[in-house]
Structure 1
Amino acid sequence: MEVNNIPNGFIIEQVAQQFGQLYFAYDTTSGTFTYIAPAFEQLWGIKPEDVFSNPTALLSCIHEDDWGFLSHQYQKLMMTHEKVRAEFRTVQPDRSTKWICLSACFLSDQKSNQHLIGGYAEDITEHKEYTHNILKYNTKKNATLEILSHDLAAPFANIQSSIDALQEQVNLDDEDIQQLVGFIKQDAIRGSDMIRDFVDNEFLESSQVVLHKERMDIANSVAIMMDNYKEQEKLVAKKFKIIAPDKPIYIYVDMMKFMQVVNNLISNAIKFTQENGSITVTMEEMEDHVLLSVADNGIGIPSKVHPYLFDRFTVARRAGLQGEKTTGLGMSIIQTIIELHKGKITFESQENVGTTFYIRIPKE
């Protein structure tokens, strides 16, 4: 009964504050805030009264690399009146960086001719740090699995070849010896297939989940992946190189799935590039999209199968240079994930020259 005596606004404010949410209302006509939750200073780093008297004070707290992004989001909201959700960084008084997620919508009252932007902001710094660490270790795991798969494929293939040679050159009349040799050959095939199946299933399972897009630094994530490959260059006898701007590149992606795509393209490059070959990942930030390419100087893709490369169970599938098997689903899944991001994937390839895949992802 006592709760009924407490103003509803007070209850809502207390609940919002407990969950780290900050509500606000901004009058677009007067260019002033009509409401800011008391918890504003804790989240943003400056006092609410300073913002009431001078709204532009907010800009001084926004990370300089995110000014253009937020300006674009504001213009988009004003033009379309559609809800926006923006993730950006603020710089706190102690110079630490805090990630903020802001959700806003356009509100219009025709009677009073008042036009407002209302919404809430919340601190997502811990979530971002957690996601970054998960992505970092997941990237290392995927790169290690690909290297392990390729590195073990060669000895397994050598065992199979040795058994075939043994069967051709040696008289194996003894049934027990024939059976023993058969077991060795089967185990070599099974071991090779088991490793490849495990790696392939990791990729197949990742494609089955709904996208969870966040604003992430793709340049940093790809750089971490390439560093993992560079550390193990000797194991696969390949050279790995990355060409990218010396600054963050932020786009909205499901980073786990996107990195699986890049990793899968690198895996294909490894399988179809001879020893001492090179694999280069390049990133460029364009006006409205990010261009990422994965290039190798391997055996290339026959021109007759180019039109079918992205088909499910494609006729373009073939074993790798070390005998690595394929399901024929990889490129189809890659295309699906890219298209779910409203992006596009294309390629250029010439036999005995190499292959380059191009991925274009819109910035938002």
Structure 2
Amino acid sequence: MENSNLPDNSFLEQIAQQLGQVFFSYDTIGGKFNYISPAIEQLCGTTPENIFSNPEAFLSHVHEDDLEFLGHQYRKLLVTREQTQVEFRVRQTDQETKWICVSACFIQDEHEARHLIGGHAMDITEQKVFTQNIMKYNSKKNSTLEILSHDLAAPFANIQGTINILEEQVNQGDMDIQQLIGFIKQDAMRGSDMIRDFVDNEFLESSQVMLHKERVDIASRIAIMMDNYIEQEKLISKNFKLISPEKPIFMYIDMMKFMQVMNNLVSNAIKFTQDNGNITVSVEDKEDHVLVKVADNGIGIPKKMQPYLFDRFTRARRAGVRGEKSTGLGMSIIKTIVELHNGKISFESKEGTGTTFYIEIPLE
């Protein structure tokens, strides 16, 4: 007996329409859609009838940079038959680009000998824009902190140097002046340490959170970070350069943590590169992995320190060219985050010539 308390399909479709969700069922053997809700027109600018008559019509709306990725995810679902969630972009007829999230699962209908993929799709454009803006300003915040830490550390170092000269010239018997000089010296050291501790704590706290991977264009995100450094290069007397392909490089990473890694590597390059030195960041698509390089022409890493560079509280820690302090944790955290992404980090360095770090992250 039919339950009169259950809502009919038209009512459910109205709810889906209002929520901007599209429900669908696709026959993988027949290569056709068995059902697709009317909300598809709102999402992609095409009607269910168009897709029923020509299932590939939907693909014409998928962003060209996401077509290969979507095909890969479809084939993966057929093989693994595990529930999946995919985010990609579509273009409407008016060329507006939207982000949609598709949740799908594989269903084997043995009674009718059909293999179906069922699920729903929804517009996540607003969430994506919101997240991207957060990431953009977080990246700017991190690079600004690094710039400030180096920019403010220089005056403190100058104060400490001047105080050392005063200590030598002031009469040793004048205890009042000696005491005042001691106070100034302590405050200068404390101020310099506070700045560096604040930046280091930001990095430490962010590295202890679980990975949250998402598909992002790594080339554009690194470009945003480098723009921040290039805009401020006069403040810290360094020359910054980015080498990156024009086309996007999409990969699954925890963007927040990876950009902390990049900021930390650039920060180290600043710390160990003299004024007017060069710092170059490059991004390369190597088909099965992405290669990111951070190179400088600074003072280099002493050979005796190199084997211990990635150790926790490493004995390879040392002050920067302006006396910047080091916790000895930074490179260890960088290595941990890279390895959590199934990647690897290495470096080449020669004293007096400079250092280059290499990060390889596999493309999933």
Distance in 2 between residues matched to 1:116 and 1:315, nearest whole Å: 59
TM-score (norm 2): 0.94
Partner of 1:148: 148
Letter in 2 for 1:74: Y
Equivalent residue of 1:304, what SS? coil
> Whole-Å Cα distance in 1 between the matches of residues 4 and 143 of structure 2?
58
Letter of the structure 2 residue corresponding to residue 304 of structure 1:
K
Question: Which residue number corresponds to residue 66 of structure 2?
Answer: 66
- What is the aligned partner in structure 2 of residue 238 from structure 1? 238
- Secondary structure of 1:50's counterpart equals helix
2:147 pairs with 1:138: no
Offset of residue 218 of structure 1: 1.4
State the aligned residue count. Answer: 362
Paired with 2:354 and 2:82, the residues of 1 have a C-alpha distance of 45
Could you say if the C-alpha distance between residues 20 and 303 of structure 1 is closer, same or farther in structure 2, counting changes exceeding 3 Å? Answer: farther
Deviation at 1:113, TM superposition (A): 2.4
Cα RMSD for the two superposed structures: 1.8
Q: Hey, what does 2:338 align to over in structure 1?
A: 338
Structure 2 matches for 1:79-98, cutoff 5 A?
A: 79-98=79-98
CA distance in 2, matches of 1:247, 1:196: 36
Alignment gaps of 5+ in structure 2: none
Aligned residue identity for 2:98: K
Alpha carbons of structure 1 residues 16 and 345: separation in structure 2 relative to 1, 3 Å: farther
Distance, in Å, in 1 between the alignment partners of 2:8 and 2:302 is 69
Q: Sequence identity of aligned pairs in percent?
A: 69
**Please, what TM-score do these two structures have when normalized by structure 1?**
0.94
Structure 2 equivalent of residue 30 of structure 1:
30
Looking at structure 1, the residues matched to 135 and 296 of structure 2 have their Cα atoms a distance apart, in angstroms, of: 25
Distance 2:186 2:4 in 1: 75
Deviates more, 1:250-259 or 1:12-21: 12-21
In structure 1, how many angstroms separate the alpha carbons of the residues matched to 2:12 and 2:282? Answer: 49
Gaps of 5+ in 1: none
Relative to structure 1, the CA distance from residue 357 to residue 8 in structure 2 (aligned partners, 3 Å threshold; closer, same or farther) is farther
Partner of 1:52: 52
**Residues in 1 aligned to 2:346 and 2:10: alpha-carbon distance in whole angstroms:** 55
Structure 1 counterpart of 2:125: 125
Matched residue type, 1:167? E
Q: Which amino acid aligns with 1:184?
A: I
Match of 2:268?
268
Which stretch shows the higher mean deviation, 264-273 or 39-48? Answer: 39-48
The one-letter code matched in structure 2 to 1:5 is N
Distance 2:309 2:111 in 1: 59
Q: Relative to 1, partners in 2 of residues 1:178 and 1:363: Cα closer, same or farther, differing over 3 Å?
A: same
SS in 2 for 1:303: coil
Q: How far did 1:130 drift? A: 0.9
C-alpha deviation, 1:306, in angstroms: 2.2
CA distance in 2, matches of 1:248, 1:286: 13
The equivalent residue for 1:167 is 167
The answer for the alignment partner of 2:182 in structure 1 is 182
2:341 maps to a residue whose letter is H
The residue type paired with residue 322 of structure 1 is R
Amino acid at match of 1:117: I
Cα distance in 1 for partners of 2:81, 2:347 equals 38
- Higher mean displacement: 173-182 or 292-301: 173-182
CA distance in 1, matches of 2:96, 2:230: 32
User: What SS does structure 2 have at the residue aligned with 1:156?
Assistant: helix
Deviation at 1:248, TM superposition (A): 1.7
Deviation at 1:303, TM superposition (A): 2.3
Q: Which moved more, 1:250-259 or 1:168-177?
A: 168-177
Q: Would the alpha carbon gap of residues 317 and 133 (structure 1) be closer, same or farther in structure 2, given more than 3 Å must change?
A: same
For residue 334 of structure 1, report the CA deviation from its aligned partner. Answer: 1.0
Deviation of 1:13 after TM superposition, in Å, equals 4.5
Tell me which residue corresponds to 1:116. 116
What do the CA deviations read for 1:195-214 (whole angstroms, capped 9, x no partner)?
11111111111112122222
Asked if 1:255 corresponds to 2:269, the answer is: no
1:87-108 C-alpha deviation (Å, 9 max, x unpaired): 1110011111001112222222
**Match in the other structure for 2:315:** 315
Correspondence for 1:104: 104
Q: Give, in whole Å, the separation in 2 of the partners of 1:170 and 1:16.
A: 81
Task: Give, in angstroms, the shift of residue 324 of structure 1.
Answer: 0.7
Higher deviation after alignment, 215-224 or 14-23: 14-23
Q: Give the stretch that moved more between structures: 304-313 or 91-100.
A: 304-313
- Counterpart-to-counterpart distance in 2, 1:102 and 1:213: 17
In structure 1, what residue type is equivalent to 2:359? Answer: I
